[in-house]
């Protein structure tokens, strides 16, 4: 097995940050200390943190069926470049991941590519069509732990109740894309002052909040684990805060874009700013930031949503929604959080949610060798992506905070 020694870094251990070398032997951290011998390849980590590899519980790798946007190979490469060692892919592919053999296909392709651990989320309803339950049994047996119709909410509360009842005992997680179809009909952006000025159809904040409020009642009823995807409004934050205070098994994620941009960006009518949920008001942004700091929002997920250039090079209302996020996530979030919290929200918490046992470990001997070396002070200009797509509003921006190395199961996957 290969050996690597990471020197001069600040190492994030279970007991906090220490200056130490980290020795990796095969797929395991062998030693953390300042007086050990250097073994194998030596990587300089001066000025950088050595921490648990990032985990993204919300990515779209578009395979099978939409490979012109992204595939598992290009998506995995983008993830590694962003410091990630594990991802959970959303099931809105073609076909949707609604049965066991499809889930196993994703797992197999992920292993073949071998840059990050790729785990599929399964659809809640057959074909994500919202009318009958997906093959939850097959999906569970294939290893799926997170279930979502991401892209749409499950509109039928009876169906969602059934899925929750089925998954509650097993410990599965329902992850909801909270968006009421009626309230968002003809909507393309946040309903507010900017949409009013542009005359564009709006998606009100309460389209998200009514679904979350409904779902929380179902969680009370069923006891199922429930995860709110891409929280974007202050109202949702408040709902999650109260649910957690009441001891409900609820978690929530926020995206880097909802933590850094607001709906005024859409004044440009540039499709790079089109995503669902839409960019909200500055007050919403502030509430989401605060919730991420205080833990009401457990984790950061990118909702990495690649689209080919020609698909986005159309009027705003015609453009598909979503932006890529894996390669800019850490730099965007790092300035908002202290180091310990940053690695919790980007690694420990998402690994726990997804049940990824080999990820989200603070660095100590015996820990799996899934690491990232992140330099918070280096600035870089967003120019090229490992992703097949470049639909990012941050293209051309200068960001501070760079991933120096990503190590997946003992192998350097990004440098």
Partner 1 sequence: MKHFLSTETISKPDLESLLDLGDRFVEVLARPIPKVPALRGKTVAMLFFEPSTRTRMSFERAAKALSADTMSFSPGTSSLSKGESLKDTALTIKAMGADALVVRHKATGTPWRVADWTGLPVLNAGDGAHQHPTQALLDSLTIRRHFGTLDGLRIAIVGDIRHSRVARSDIWAFTTLGADVTLVAPRTLLPVDLEGWPVKTVDTIDDVLDGDVIYLLRIQTERGGASVLPSLAEYVERFGMTNERFDRLPEDSIVMHPGPMNRGVEISAAVADHPRALVEEQVANGVAVRMAVLLRLLGEEDVDV
Q: How far is the CB of 77 from partner 1 (least distance, A)?
A: 28
Rounded Cα distance, 181 and 414, in Å: 40
Q: How far is the CB of 388 from partner 1 (least distance, A)?
A: 19
Closer to partner 1 by CB, 128 or 307: give it: 307
Beta-strand runs (E) in 91-222? 117-120, 146-147, 173-176, 189-190, 202-203
The active-site residue out of 215, 303, 344, 375 is 303
Whether residue 163 contacts residue 216, with contact meaning beta carbons closer than 8 Å, is answered with no
Rounded Cα distance, 111 and 119, in Å: 10
Whether residue 347 contacts residue 52, with contact meaning beta carbons closer than 8 Å, is answered with yes
Token pair of 35 as six digits: 């007086």
From the list 155-163, 192-200, 299-307, 325-333, the region that binds partner 1 by CB under 8 A is 192-200
Whether residue 211 contacts residue 153, with contact meaning beta carbons closer than 8 Å, is answered with yes
Q: How many residues touch partner 1 (CB under 8 A)?
A: 19
Q: At what angle do helices 234-245 and 282-294 cross, to 10 degrees?
A: 30
Beta-strand runs (E) in 14-74? 16-25, 28-33, 41-44, 49-52, 54-59
State yes or no: residue 209 binds partner 1 (CB under 8 A). Answer: no
Residues 268-327 that bind partner 1 (CB under 8 A): 269, 310, 313-318
State yes or no: residue 165 binds partner 1 (CB under 8 A). Answer: no
State yes or no: residue 396 binds partner 1 (CB under 8 A). Answer: no
Say how far residue 265 (Cα) sits from the centre of its chain: 22
Say whether 303 is catalytic: yes
Phi, psi of 384 (to 5 degrees): -125, 150
Closer to partner 1 by CB, 111 or 185: give it: 185
Closer to partner 1 by CB, 3 or 317: give it: 317
Q: How far is the CB of 310 from partner 1 (least distance, A)?
A: 7
Bond from prior residue into 64 cis (ω within 30 degrees of 0)? yes
Query: One symbol per residue from 172 to 191: x for binding partner 1 (CB under 8 A), - otherwise; what is it?
Result: -------------------x
State yes or no: residue 199 binds partner 1 (CB under 8 A). Answer: yes
Closer to partner 1 by CB, 190 or 386: give it: 190
| Half-sphere CA count of 21, side-chain side, radius 13 A | 18
Rounded Cα distance, 408 and 53, in Å: 8
Rounded Cα distance, 345 and 116, in Å: 18
From the list 96-104, 172-180, 197-205, 395-403, the region that binds partner 1 by CB under 8 A is 197-205
Q: How far is the CB of 52 from partner 1 (least distance, A)?
A: 43
Q: How far is the CB of 280 from partner 1 (least distance, A)?
A: 13
Q: How far is the CB of 120 from partner 1 (least distance, A)?
A: 32
Bond from prior residue into 112 cis (ω within 30 degrees of 0)? no
State yes or no: residue 395 binds partner 1 (CB under 8 A). Answer: no
Closer to partner 1 by CB, 310 or 366: give it: 310
State yes or no: residue 193 binds partner 1 (CB under 8 A). Answer: yes
Rounded Cα distance, 402 and 278, in Å: 27
Q: How far is the CB of 210 from partner 1 (least distance, A)?
A: 16
Closer to partner 1 by CB, 242 or 318: give it: 318
State yes or no: residue 157 binds partner 1 (CB under 8 A). Answer: no
Of 298, 391, 294, 378, the closest CA to residue 334 belongs to 378
Closer to partner 1 by CB, 24 or 319: give it: 319
Binding residues for partner 1 (CB under 8 A): 191-193, 195-200, 202, 204, 269, 310, 313-318
Residues with active-site annotation:
303
């Amino acid at each position: 097995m290969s050996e690597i020694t990471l020197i001069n870094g600040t190492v994030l251990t279970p007991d906090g940050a220490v200056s130490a070398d980290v020795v990796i032997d095969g797929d395991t951290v062998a030693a953390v200390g300042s007086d050990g011998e250097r073994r194998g390849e030596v990587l300089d980590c001066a000025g950088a943190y050595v921490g648990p590899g990032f985990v993204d519980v919300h990515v779209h790798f578009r395979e099978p069926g939409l490979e012109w946007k992204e595939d598992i190979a290009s998506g995995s490469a983008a993830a590694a470049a962003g410091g990630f060692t594990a991802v959970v892919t959303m099931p809105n592919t073609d076909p949707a991941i609604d049965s066991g053999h499809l889930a196993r296909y994703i797992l197999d392709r992920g292993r073949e590519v071998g840059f990050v651990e790729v785990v599929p989320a399964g659809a809640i309803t057959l074909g994500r069509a919202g009318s009958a339950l997906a093959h939850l049994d097959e999906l569970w047996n294939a290893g799926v732990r997170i279930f979502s119709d991401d892209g749409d909410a499950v509109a039928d509360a009876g169906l969602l109740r059934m899925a929750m009842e089925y998954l509650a005992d097993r410990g599965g997680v329902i992850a909801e894309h909270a968006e009421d179809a009626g309230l968002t009909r003809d909507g393309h952006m946040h309903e507010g002052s900017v949409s009013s000025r542009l005359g564009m159809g709006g998606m009100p904040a309460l389209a998200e909040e009514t679904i979350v409020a409904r779902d929380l009642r179902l969680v009370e009823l069923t006891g199922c684990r429930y995860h709110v995807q891409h929280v974007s409004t202050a109202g949702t934050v408040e709902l999650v805060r109260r649910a957690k205070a009441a001891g409900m098994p609820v978690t929530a994620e926020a995206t880097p874009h909802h933590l850094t941009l607001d709906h005024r960006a859409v004044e440009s009518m540039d499709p790079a700013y089109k995503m669902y949920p839409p960019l909200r008001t500055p007050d919403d942004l502030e509430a989401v930031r605060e919730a991420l700091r205080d833990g009401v929002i457990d984790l950061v997920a990118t909702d990495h949503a690649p689209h080919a250039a020609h698909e986005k090079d159309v009027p705003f209302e015609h453009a598909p929604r979503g932006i890529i996020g894996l390669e800019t996530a850490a730099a965007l979030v790092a300035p908002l959080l202290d180091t310990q919290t940053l690695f919790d929200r980007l690694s420990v918490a998402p690994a726990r949610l997804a049940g990824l046992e080999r990820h989200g470990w603070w660095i100590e001997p015996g820990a799996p060798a899934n690491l990232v070396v992140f330099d918070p002070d280096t600035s870089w200009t967003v120019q090229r992506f490992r992703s097949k797509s470049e639909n990012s509003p941050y293209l051309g921006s200068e960001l501070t905070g760079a991933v120096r190395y990503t190590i997946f199961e003992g192998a350097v996957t990004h440098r």
